[in-house]
């Protein structure tokens, strides 16, 4: 697939061109406040570390209505649940960081696989073109390379962009991506070696984090009884911020809300950090304490998902949980402990 | 007593608050009660009051639960419109003949809908409102009356007097009118009689100077009470009667018809007028938004009861003026209002205008009561009050007859209630063998277990004749009810409460296997118990019941909006069904009651309580910290009636020591307490463990040790008790002494002790009289602030003055100065009346030292009962539960509660015993029902529920989790709303149930 | 257009205000039919969550009424309740809920007239506030797709 | 040596002696975080562990949060607010007084990470502090910030910076600051109802209902929180704004009279909501009505567990 250039003076036009038949989400705002929004393509931010929240909410919103019924006789099919349908619209997202794009791939395998397809995810996922924005200066809290990704990673993206002379360099990665860029006035150019240089520099800036590699990904129960889980869990507040912000966390809880007129069924994000997550109707809880819950989270990210998804880790190194955790439970340190235990 | 036949029933004559309390205590102690009331309904004078002092409690609010309890009590037979004709026989077996006058209404049919009264053409004065407005000839005495049944005033009814009209009969939807009703004589047997005939307010018509007869703006206090009442003629709006304008200035004239031996011939003090006048003044000020100027003209302010002095202080702080003066005359003004002519303390003659003058009239025994006493052969005093002794304050001269309330002397509500309980105890002291022989027990089938069954709700919508159906579209509500979730059956009914409807309800419950019942009819406050009984009779747990009040809260108040009222009835029914579907059967558990009392304190109160209990057949253990029993009484010489305390005490001690039911633990105190009502376990300081069902705290009080007036420095400055000891010892120096100065209020009514010690004035006056009688030459001075010889004790005060005892008032800011020159005492005082300095040189100065509490905080903590800021034990309710603690099974008597004279101590001790008997008499107690429970999985042990429980019913267990003691819980739900994690839940009012109701409402 | 008829949820204690409403009925004192009463043993049973639930479900107003201070059938239930009310009242008013939507009163069982006056006053003021559109949960959107 | 270093040293010494002397089984304190501007909760159980204990201006979490349900003897490294909450937890039976050793640290205020981010939006690699400044470094830059410019709001109005009921203080008392006068709230309350409602709705519009504020709060130790209740379900589980509002209102009510304004809730909030605005409305009410401040005495009774017969409540007609 070829590369393209968007010069500084053509940037505004480029974004306008992207909106031709579709909704465009772009990063808006600086620093912590950066988020993917439809608001103003002329104010696209290229100077952000990462979006505040992960882009999973574009495909898997925190609250999503699934079904509804009405008790009113004059409504169609009273008292029957009806699918609220696929309301997805054609969208292009500009500015996915490669780590987040990889995160979407992990979630996508959960929502779409050979045994099951989630129609709500599928509709949105398929109707969205994803333009990544590579990281020239990864944040000190980022570690995508250590997780098998790269600041210039291509997984899950249709196009990879990177800031270039206040304009953009583009590399199309899929047919759809190529077709999309063709609808714009982006100029073709050969950027292969430039991209390779930039990627190398960016990876070096992150520095090596070897211990992730050391975690044996195949022996599922090996770390289950590791002695560090209680101490790791001890400061945990159980808030679940790590899961809410994680680009790969995908658990949800189904709820009905109803009144005398009718009701809806929806799903809401859930978090394995909450005791209720595994609370049985009987009152029994297989993960009764923070220790089991913390273990679950890290084992899931670093062992169970890799086993299910051919070695791809459930962590993409985006660093959100590292920064957000109020108690500073740092997955890098936890991984180090896991590696240590395994080694000993 | 030789009589072989003992009847386990008691007659209570009079349905006022005293009669009601006596009836309930008797019935709850296992005696069948005939309650005879001459009017249409019980309630008495208290039903007429707006608020009660000193708490300003709403009078009706606090008695209506009592009214309902009496009305519904299976062992109280209410005989209204009934006169006593004769009582023959002797204690243990009296034959009573009464005449039941016709009501002209079939009480079993009347549903109190009020249709009759609306159209009755005959209007006449309404006695309930002191004739300030009108009622009809067919009427209920007052809206909350019990029994809530109409009656016809035969003397006024047009049909009954002229044979024409008959409107009410035509209109009555229940066919309850019976013009042919006749008086009937009834005879029944009782073991004893309790008389509580009450009083009538003094009619000030005899005082022409007060102009009550001809000036509209001069009214009586009871009339004013009705003006203040929310159900009164002006619905609580304070007016000037002559023109209904808002008054700016009001005066209260105290002692109208009391402390007056000329025209009224009532030498006694009516005891309550100072307090009720202050109360009315305060409430009037409140009602008028503060723009009212109130002056109280008085002779002595007698605020001697618990928290009364503080109330007085509060009134002064609120700007109520107190002027010590008797009114000379009342002059009406042409534009309304009157001018009062009076002379101030300083001797200035003053003429002052007031819009309204309220006459604080006293309490008088009625002519009827006087006749009754005569016909029953009861001794009375000059004022027609029943004669009693200090040591048997509720026993009348004829054996088997007992009294309570104003019949034995003017008194306030708590004293009447206390006496009522005492009378219940005294009246049954010889009936013990017959206990529970005549009482009835409700037998219900064992309820079927509906746990786990899906709700099958039955809904019954009542027409209430036309009361509901004329406004609410009942069939529409029924149809709607059928559409609601879990409703298995819905129907309408003409009168849901009628006997046949109840039977139908039982049949339907069985036929449709209904396991939840909703009745949309009237108020659960009046009818829930009835339907619950029906459920129980049908074998359903009575708590599987919910009510929608579509009459009182709907059809009766939205008559002009039938569509909206129907919608509201549907919503209310839906709310009830929503809640009902979530109701679960509530268990009532049975706990054993240890039939023993622990009496803490071996003074007059404790000894009397134990003896009273013993006569009822119950054991008690008296814990006394001293080495001998008798307490303060060991030091008192004679009673105000002149009886020897020493003689009485030695008799009492002998009786206690010889009583096999009483165990004495001297030199002991309680060191540890476990358990709760029915099952206390108290450890005494000696290590002895006492198991008991109830506890009576009678720890007494102490005489204050003064630190002024040279007390402790000069041995001839003594306290009252010390002086009594001198008198008892026949001290020669006292006998030789010529001059005595008594100083009142030493340590009482002061900033640190803002209360009146109640007994000192009488004690002083009595001592002065005795000294004067012994030595007429003795010069006796009483230096006082207000003389508080309340009730018949006023006679002593008069006697003292007649004998030449000199009473000199002092202001608290200018106390008497006591000095000594060598051995000689000198008392100097500024007489506020003459303005002169007076100097006395007494041989003895006797200080009326305050009574101070024992500050038994530790004891209070152990038994979880509160003390007030002065250290007196704090009763469950200052008006109606004067000897109970809020904590079940805990009672008090004597000075631990508040200072009081010996007759009141004895009465209170008997009362505490009577209240205790209501617990001890049940071998097992039922607890549970609507009480709180704790889901310990949700409990963090933070203790907030424990802190907010008004009944100390919650504790933390050894795991630190809350537990509810069902025996102590009253079901207020304070815990359930205070817990942040919803660990407590109030059965019957669960979060889920209330939540469902809220949702159904919207 | 017909006049706005508000929905008001009322929480009354059994012993005082519920009794006053009973007495208002006995005395046939009419008042607007807009509120629905939830009977509680005591205002002390009133959990602030109940009030929030009423608003969430779309109540235009809430009226809480119990015994006068000192009159509580359960000794002190309304004293504790009053402290909760002080907090809730201030909190809701501060965050911008019109205080006319949340009313508190003490009405004794003898005060039928006060009950009537208060009932009228509550409804009148809630009417003046208009429908509660801002402090409630949105109606469930049951926009079901048409099925061919 | 800076004051911070002195405090760190004192904490370590005392912690060691408490563990060695058996007065504590665990010392709950802070260690240096793995990310800049962070001091993380740390549980020292051996004398060696104690060398990891530090004191800094990044010690924002309230360590009293870790007391409830613990069976070990705890020595708690406590700021003024943490100590007050520890006292509160003793009063609320969440931890026994006889097992608790409050190692009080006179606190000069904690740094607000959001304020720092506002002043320095670039990625931060390291943060080093002196007594009154913070040095930040990142890819290709270094910045110095004055500490007083980036302290948390609550720390600027802290009247109890020196722990009131500590078993031992590790440093000299620091002067108290004038307490929160709520002047901003007063100004807000002067606005119209509509404006206020808009303000509070906007305040929480980003709320994820993650309940980090609750979980970070030492007052929130209930075994079952009302938000998780299902029968009845007090709150919908979606991001419905009214459900969210209800959560914040009830959370505020549950903390009323117990909140020490420690700011842990705002620290934990991943979307920087000023959740304490609700608490502050109530703090103000509690103070005005009952002159009550929590955590200042062992036997204090929280205002909702007591009453006065004349509690002012003119709004009740």
Residue spans of the domains in chain A: they are 3-61+84-207, 229-343
Whether A340 shows a pLDDT value over 90: the answer reads no
End-to-end CA gap in chain B: 69
Domain spans, chain D: 1-110+158-178, 180-307
**For residue range B661-685, what is the model confidence (pLDDT) as tens digits?**
999 999 999 999 988 889 999 999 9
Residue among D189, D243, D303 minimizing CB distance to C94: D189
D309 touches chain B (CB under 8 A): no
D96 touches chain B (CB under 8 A): no
DSSP single-letter state for residue C111: -
Give me the mean pLDDT over the B18-30 stretch. 96
| D242/C80 CB distance under 8 A | no
Q: Are B282 and B52 in contact (CB under 8 A)?
A: no
Counting residues of chain B whose pLDDT is more than 90, the rounded percentage is 83
C135 touches chain D (CB under 8 A): yes
**Closest residue, chain C, to A65 (C-alpha):** C141
Please tell me the distance from the alpha carbon of residue B828 to that of residue D34, in angstroms, as a whole number: 86
pLDDT at A213: 64
| D317/C79 CB distance under 8 A | no
Determine how many CB atoms are found less than 10 A away from the CB of residue A90: 11
Q: Using 50, 70 and 90 to split pLDDT, how confident is the model at B861?
A: confident
Please tell me the distance from the alpha carbon of residue B430 to that of residue B612, in angstroms, as a whole number: 11
Token duo for residue D1: 């040596």
Q: Looking at CA atoms only, how far is residue D241 from chain A in angstroms?
A: 12
| D223/B938 CB distance under 8 A | yes
Residue among C70, C87, C98 minimizing CB distance to D309: C70
DSSP secondary structure string for all residues of B908-947: HHHHHHHHHHHHHT-SEEEEESS-EEE-GGG-----HHHH
Strand order in the sheet with B516-520: B487-493, B457-462, B516-520, B545-548
How does strand B701-703 pair with strand B851-853?
antiparallel
Q: Using 50, 70 and 90 to split pLDDT, how confident is the model at C144?
A: low
In angstroms, how far is CA D213 from the centroid of its own chain? 10
| D311/C83 CB distance under 8 A | yes
B524 touches chain C (CB under 8 A): yes
| C41/B930 CB distance under 8 A | yes
Q: Which residues contact C133 (CB under 8 A, 6 or more apart)?
A: none
Mark which residues 27-56 of C lie under 8 Å from B by CB. 27-31, 33, 36-42, 44-50, 53-54
Please tell me the distance from the alpha carbon of residue B295 to that of residue B245, in angstroms, as a whole number: 19
Report the length, in residues, of chain A. 344
Q: Which residues contact B191 (CB under 8 A, 6 or more apart)?
A: B6, B7, B8, B9, B10, B31, B91, B92, B93, B94, B400, B427, B428, B430, B431, B434
Residue among C21, C36, C40 minimizing CB distance to B989: C40
pLDDT at A211: 64
D280 touches chain C (CB under 8 A): no
Q: Using 50, 70 and 90 to split pLDDT, how confident is the model at A215?
A: low
B665 closest CA partner among B629, B698, B615: B629
- The CA-atom distances, in angstroms, between A60 and each of A247, A266, B230, C50, C140 are 11, 12, 62, 33, 21
- The CA-atom distances, in angstroms, between B46 and each of B82, B286, B931, C110, D303 are 20, 21, 31, 13, 37
Q: Looking at CA atoms only, how far is residue B949 from chain D in angstroms?
A: 9
ipTM of the complex: 0.92
Q: Looking at CA atoms only, how far is residue D81 from chain B in angstroms?
A: 20
Token duo for residue C26: 């006995």
Residue among C57, C142, C147 minimizing CB distance to A70: C142
pLDDT at B265: 86
Token duo for residue B546: 């919910």
C45 closest CA partner among B845, B997, A299: B997
pLDDT tens over chain D, length 317 residues: 788 999 999 999 999 999 999 999 999 999 999 999 999 999 999 999 999 999 999 999 999 999 999 999 999 999 999 999 999 999 999 999 999 999 999 999 999 999 998 898 888 989 999 988 999 998 889 999 999 999 999 999 999 999 999 999 999 999 988 888 899 999 999 999 999 999 999 999 999 999 999 999 999 999 999 998 888 888 988 889 999 999 999 999 999 999 999 999 999 999 999 999 999 999 999 999 999 999 999 988 899 999 998 898 889 99
Whether A143 shows a pLDDT value over 70: the answer reads yes
Domain spans, chain C: 8-129
| B557/C24 CB distance under 8 A | yes
Q: Looking at CA atoms only, how far is residue B888 from chain C in angstroms?
A: 13
D1 touches chain B (CB under 8 A): no
What residues in D contact B995, CB-CB < 8 Å? 232
D215 touches chain A (CB under 8 A): yes
What residues in C contact A123, CB-CB < 8 Å? none
Please tell me the distance from the alpha carbon of residue D36 to that of residue D127, in angstroms, as a whole number: 5
Q: Using 50, 70 and 90 to split pLDDT, how confident is the model at C145?
A: low
| Residue of C54, C144, C147 to mutate for A, most A C-beta atoms under 10 A | C144
pLDDT at A72: 80
Whether B653 shows a pLDDT value over 90: the answer reads yes
Neighbouring chains of D at 3+ CB pairs under 8 Å are: A, B, C
pLDDT at C148: 40
Whether B37 shows a pLDDT value over 90: the answer reads yes
Whether C1 shows a pLDDT value over 50: the answer reads no
Q: Looking at CA atoms only, how far is residue C39 from chain A in angstroms?
A: 22
List, in order of start, the domains of chain B with CATH numbers.
Answer: 1-99+183-199+365-433 (3.50.50.60), 102-182 (3.30.70), 201-364 (3.50.50.60), 457-586 (3.40.50), 596-700+854-922 (3.50.50.60), 703-851 (3.50.50.60), 931-986 (3.30.70.20)
Q: Using 50, 70 and 90 to split pLDDT, how confident is the model at C70?
A: confident
Helices (H), chain D: 3-20, 80-91, 113-119, 153-156, 183-189, 193-203, 212-216, 241-255, 264-268, 276-290
Please tell me the distance from the alpha carbon of residue A96 to that of residue A248, in angstroms, as a whole number: 14
Report the CATH number of the C8-129 domain.
3.40.50
Torsion of CA B141, B146, B150, B154, to 10 degrees: -60
Determine how many CB atoms are found less than 10 A away from the CB of residue B532: 19
Q: Are B148 and B523 in contact (CB under 8 A)?
A: no
Please tell me the distance from the alpha carbon of residue B238 to that of residue B284, in angstroms, as a whole number: 7
Query: Among A70-74, A199-203, B900-904, where is mean pLDDT lowest?
Result: A70-74
Chain position carrying tokens 């201030």: C90
**For residue range B158-194, what is the model confidence (pLDDT) as tens digits?**
999 999 999 999 999 999 999 999 999 999 999 999 9
Q: What is the mean pLDDT of chain B?
A: 93
Q: What is the mean pLDDT of chain A?
A: 89
Q: Which residues contact B624 (CB under 8 A, 6 or more apart)?
A: B601, B602, B606, B664, B665, B666, B667, B668
D267 touches chain A (CB under 8 A): yes
C102 touches chain B (CB under 8 A): no
B480 closest CA partner among B490, B472, B493: B490
**For residue range A217-260, what is the model confidence (pLDDT) as tens digits?**
567 677 888 899 999 999 999 999 999 999 999 999 999 988 88
Whether A94 shows a pLDDT value over 60: the answer reads yes
Q: Using 50, 70 and 90 to split pLDDT, how confident is the model at B202?
A: very high
pLDDT at B289: 77
**Closest residue, chain C, to D280 (C-alpha):** C91
Helices (H), C6-134: 17-26, 48-56, 77-94, 112-129
pLDDT at C146: 58
Q: Using 50, 70 and 90 to split pLDDT, how confident is the model at A73?
A: confident
């Amino acid at each position: 697939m070829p590369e393209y250039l968007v010069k500084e003076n053509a940037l505004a036009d480029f974004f306008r061109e992207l909106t031709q038949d579709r909704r465009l989400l772009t990063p808006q705002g600086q620093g912590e406040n950066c988020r993917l929004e439809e608001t103003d393509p002329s104010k696209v931010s290229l100077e952000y570390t990462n979006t505040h929240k992960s882009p999973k909410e574009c495909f898997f919103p925190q609250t999503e209505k699934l079904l509804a019924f009405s008790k009113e006789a004059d409504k169609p099919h009273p008292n029957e649940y009806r699918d609220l349908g696929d309301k997805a619209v054609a969208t292009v997202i500009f500015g996915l960081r490669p780590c987040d794009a990889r995160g979407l791939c992990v979630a996508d395998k959960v929502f779409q696989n050979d045994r099951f397809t989630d129609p709500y995810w599928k509709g949105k996922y398929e109707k969205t073109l994803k333009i990544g924005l590579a990281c020239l200066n990864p944040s000190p809290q980022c570690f995508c390379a250590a997780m098998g990704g790269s600041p210039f990673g291509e997984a899950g993206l249709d196009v990879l962009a990177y800031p270039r002379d206040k304009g953009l360099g583009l590399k199309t990665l899929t047919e759809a991506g190529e077709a999309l860029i063709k609808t714009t006035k982006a100029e073709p150019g050969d950027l292969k070696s430039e991209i390779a240089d930039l990627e190398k520099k960016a990876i070096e800036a992150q520095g090596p984090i070897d211990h992730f590699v050391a975690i044996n990904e195949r022996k599922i129960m090996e770390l289950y009884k590791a002695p560090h889980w209680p101490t790791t869990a001890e400061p945990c507040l159980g808030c679940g911020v790590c899961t809410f912000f994680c680009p790969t966390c995908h658990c949800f809880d189904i709820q009905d809300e109803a009144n005398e007129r009718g009701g809806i069924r929806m799903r809401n994000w859930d978090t394995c950090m909450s005791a209720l997550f595994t609370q049985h109707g009987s009152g029994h809880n297989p993960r009764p304490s923070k220790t089991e819950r913390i273990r679950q989270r890290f084992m899931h990210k670093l062992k169970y998902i890799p086993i299910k998804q051919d070695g791809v880790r459930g962590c993409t190194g985006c660093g959100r949980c590292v920064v957000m955790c109020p108690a500073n439970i740092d997955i890098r340190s936890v991984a180090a402990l896991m590696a240590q235990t395994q080694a000993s | 007593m030789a009589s072989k036949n003992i009847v386990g029933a008691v007659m209570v004559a009079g349905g006022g608050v005293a009669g009601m309390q006596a009836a309930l205590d008797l019935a709850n102690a296992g005696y069948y009660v005939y309650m005879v009331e001459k009017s249409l309904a019980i309630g008495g004078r208290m039903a007429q009051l707006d608020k009660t002092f000193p708490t300003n409690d709403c009078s009706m609010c606090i008695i209506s639960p009592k009214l309902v309890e009496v009305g519904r009590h299976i062992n109280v037979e209410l005989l209204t419109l009934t006169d006593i004709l004769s009582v023959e026989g002797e204690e243990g077996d009296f034959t009573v003949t009464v005449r039941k006058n016709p009501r002209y209404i079939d009480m079993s049919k009347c549903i109190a809908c009020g249709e009759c009264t609306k159209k009755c053409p005959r209007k006449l004065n309404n006695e309930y409102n002191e004739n300030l407005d009108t009622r009809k000839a067919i009427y209920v005495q007052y809206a909350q009356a019990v029994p809530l049944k109409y009656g016809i005033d035969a003397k006024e009814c047009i049909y009954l007097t002229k044979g024409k009209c008959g409107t009410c009969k035509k209109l009555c939807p229940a066919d309850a009118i019976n013009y042919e009703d006749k008086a009937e004589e009834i005879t029944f047997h009782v073991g004893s009689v309790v008389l509580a005939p009450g009083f009538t307010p003094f009619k000030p018509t005899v005082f022409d100077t007060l102009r009550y007869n001809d000036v509209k703006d001069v009214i009586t206090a009871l009339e004013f009470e009705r003006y203040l009442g929310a159900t009164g003629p002006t619905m609580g709006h304070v007016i000037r009667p002559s023109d209904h304008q808002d008054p700016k200035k009001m005066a209260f004239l105290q002692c109208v018809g009391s402390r007056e031996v000329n025209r009224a011939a009532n030498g006694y003090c009516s005891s309550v007028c100072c307090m009720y006048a202050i109360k009315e003044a305060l409430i009037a000020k409140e009602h008028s938004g503060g723009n009212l100027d109130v002056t109280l003209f008085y002779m002595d302010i007698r605020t001697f009861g618990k928290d009364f002095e503080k109330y007085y202080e509060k009134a002064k702080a609120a700007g109520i003026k107190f002027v010590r003066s008797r009114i000379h005359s009342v002059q009406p003004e042409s534009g309304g209002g009157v001018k009062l002519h009076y002379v101030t303390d300083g001797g200035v003659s003053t003429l002052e205008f007031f819009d309204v003058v309220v006459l604080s009239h006293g309490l008088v025994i009625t002519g009827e009561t006087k006749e009754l006493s005569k016909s029953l052969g009861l001794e009375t005093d000059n004022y027609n009050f029943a004669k009693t002794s200090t040591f048997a304050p509720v026993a009348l001269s004829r054996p088997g007859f007992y009294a309570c309330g104003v019949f034995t002397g003017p008194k306030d509500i708590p004293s009447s209630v206390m006496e009522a309980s005492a009378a219940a105890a005294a009246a049954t002291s010889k009936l013990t063998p017959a206990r529970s022989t005549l009482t009835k027990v409700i037998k219900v089938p064992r309820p079927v277990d509906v746990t786990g069954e899906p709700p099958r709700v039955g809904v019954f919508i009542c027409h209430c004749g036309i009361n509901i159906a004329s406004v609410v579209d009942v069939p529409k509500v029924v149809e709607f009810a059928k559409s609601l979730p879990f409703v298995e059956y819905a129907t309408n009914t003409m009168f849901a409460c009628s006997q046949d409807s109840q039977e139908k309800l039982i049949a339907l419950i069985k036929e449709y296997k209904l396991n939840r019942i909703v009745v949309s009819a009237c108020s659960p406050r009046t009818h829930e118990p009835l339907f619950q009984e029906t459920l129980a009779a049908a074998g359903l747990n009575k708590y599987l019941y919910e009510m929608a009040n579509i009459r009182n809260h709907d059809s009766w108040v939205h008559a002009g909006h039938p569509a909206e009222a129907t919608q509201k009835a549907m919503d209310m029914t839906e709310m009830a069904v929503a809640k009902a579907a979530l109701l679960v059967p509530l268990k009532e558990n049975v706990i054993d009651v240890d039939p023993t009392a622990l009496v803490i304190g071996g003074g007059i109160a404790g000894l009397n309580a134990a003896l009273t209990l013993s006569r009822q057949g119950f054991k008690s253990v008296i814990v006394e910290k001293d080495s001998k029993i008798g307490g303060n009484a060991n030091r008192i010489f004679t009673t105000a009636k002149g009886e020897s305390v020493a003689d009485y005490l030695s008799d009492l001690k002998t009786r206690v020591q010889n009583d096999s039911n009483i165990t004495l633990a001297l030199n002991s105190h309680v060191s540890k307490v476990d358990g709760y009502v029915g099952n206390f376990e108290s450890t005494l300081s000696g290590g002895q463990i006492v198991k008991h069902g109830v506890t009576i705290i009678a720890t007494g009080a102490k005489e204050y040790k003064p630190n002024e007036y040279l007390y402790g420095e000069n041995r001839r400055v003594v306290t009252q008790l010390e002086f009594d000891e001198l008198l008892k010892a026949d001290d020669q120096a006292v006998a030789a002494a010529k001059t005595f100065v008594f100083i009142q209020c030493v340590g009482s009514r002061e900033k640190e002790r803002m209360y009146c010690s109640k007994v000192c004035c009488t004690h002083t006056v009595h001592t002065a009289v005795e000294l004067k009688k012994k030595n007429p030459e003795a010069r006796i001075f009483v230096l006082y602030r207000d003389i508080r010889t309340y009730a018949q004790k006023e006679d002593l005060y008069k006697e003292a003055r007649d004998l030449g005892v000199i009473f000199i008032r002092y202001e608290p800011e200018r106390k008497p100065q006591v000095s000594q020159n060598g051995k000689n005492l000198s008392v100097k005082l500024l007489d506020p009346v003459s303005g002169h300095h007076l100097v006395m040189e007494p041989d003895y100065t006797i200080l009326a030292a305050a009574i101070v509490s024992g500050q038994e905080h530790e004891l209070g903590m152990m038994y979880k009962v509160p003390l007030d800021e002065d250290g007196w034990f704090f009763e469950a309710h200052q008006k109606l539960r004067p000897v109970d603690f809020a904590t079940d099974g805990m009672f008090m008597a004597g000075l631990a509660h508040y200072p009081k004279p010996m007759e009141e101590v004895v009465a209170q001790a008997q009362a505490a015993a009577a209240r205790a008997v209501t617990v001890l008499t049940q071998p097992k107690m039922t607890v549970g029902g609507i009480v709180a429970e704790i889901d310990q999985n949700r409990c963090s042990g933070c203790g907030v529920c424990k802190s907010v429980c008004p009944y100390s019913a919650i504790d933390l267990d050894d795991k630190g989790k809350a537990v509810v003691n069902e025996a102590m819980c009253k079901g207020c739900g304070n815990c359930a709303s205070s817990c942040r994690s919803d660990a407590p839940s109030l059965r019957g009012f669960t979060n889920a149930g209330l939540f469902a109701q809220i949702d159904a409402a919207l | 257009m017909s006049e706005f008829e508000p929905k008001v949820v009322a929480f009354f204690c059994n012993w005082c205000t519920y009794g006053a409403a009973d007495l208002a009925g006995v005395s046939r004192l009419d008042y607007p039919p807009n509120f629905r009463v939830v009977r509680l043993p005591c205002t002390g049973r009133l959990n602030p969550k109940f009030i929030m639930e009423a608003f969430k479900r779309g109540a235009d107003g809430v009226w809480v009424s119990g015994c006068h201070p000192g009159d509580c059938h359960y000794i002190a239930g309304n004293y504790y309740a009053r402290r909760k009310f002080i907090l809730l009242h201030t909190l809701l008013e501060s965050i911008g809920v019109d205080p006319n939507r949340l009313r508190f009163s003490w009405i004794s069982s003898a005060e039928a007239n006060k009950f009537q006056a208060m009932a009228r006053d509550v409804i009148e003021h809630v009417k003046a506030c208009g429908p509660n559109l801002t402090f409630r949960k949105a109606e469930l959107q049951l926009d079901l797709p048409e099925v061919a | 040596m800076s004051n911070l270093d002195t405090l760190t040293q004192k904490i370590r010494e005392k912690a060691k002696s408490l563990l060695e002397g058996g007065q504590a089984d665990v010392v709950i304190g802070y260690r240096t975080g793995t990310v800049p501007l962070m001091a993380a909760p740390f549980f020292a159980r051996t004398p060696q562990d104690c060398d990891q204990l530090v004191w800094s201006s990044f010690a924002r979490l309230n360590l009293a949060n870790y007391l409830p349900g613990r069976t070990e003897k705890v020595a708690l490294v406590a700021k003024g607010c943490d100590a007050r909450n520890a006292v509160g937890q003793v009063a609320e039976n969440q931890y026994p007084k006889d097992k608790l050793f409050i190692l009080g640290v006179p606190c000069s205020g904690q740094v607000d990470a959001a304020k720092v981010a506002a002043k320095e939006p670039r990625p931060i690699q390291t943060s080093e502090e002196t007594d009154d400044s913070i040095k930040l470094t990142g890819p290709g830059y270094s910045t110095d910030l004055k500490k007083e410019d980036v302290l948390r709001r609550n720390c600027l109005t802290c009247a109890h910076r020196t722990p009131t009921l500590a078993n031992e203080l590790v440093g000299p008392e620091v002067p108290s600051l004038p307490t929160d006068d709520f002047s901003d709230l007063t100004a807000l309350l002067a606005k119209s109802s509509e404006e206020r409602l808009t303000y509070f709705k906007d305040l929480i519009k980003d709320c994820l209902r993650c309940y980090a504020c609750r979980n970070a709060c030492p007052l929130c130790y209930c075994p079952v929180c009302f938000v998780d209740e299902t029968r009845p379900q007090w709150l919908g589980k979606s991001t419905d704004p009214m459900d969210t509002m209800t959560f914040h209102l009830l959370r505020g009510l549950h903390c009323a009279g117990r909140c020490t304004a420690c700011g842990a809730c705002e620290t934990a909030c991943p979307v920087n909501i000023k959740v304490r605005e609700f608490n502050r409305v109530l703090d103000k009410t509690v103070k005005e009505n009952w002159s009550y401040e929590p955590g200042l005495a062992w036997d204090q009774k929280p205002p909702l567990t007591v009453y006065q017969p004349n509690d002012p409540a003119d709004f009740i007609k």
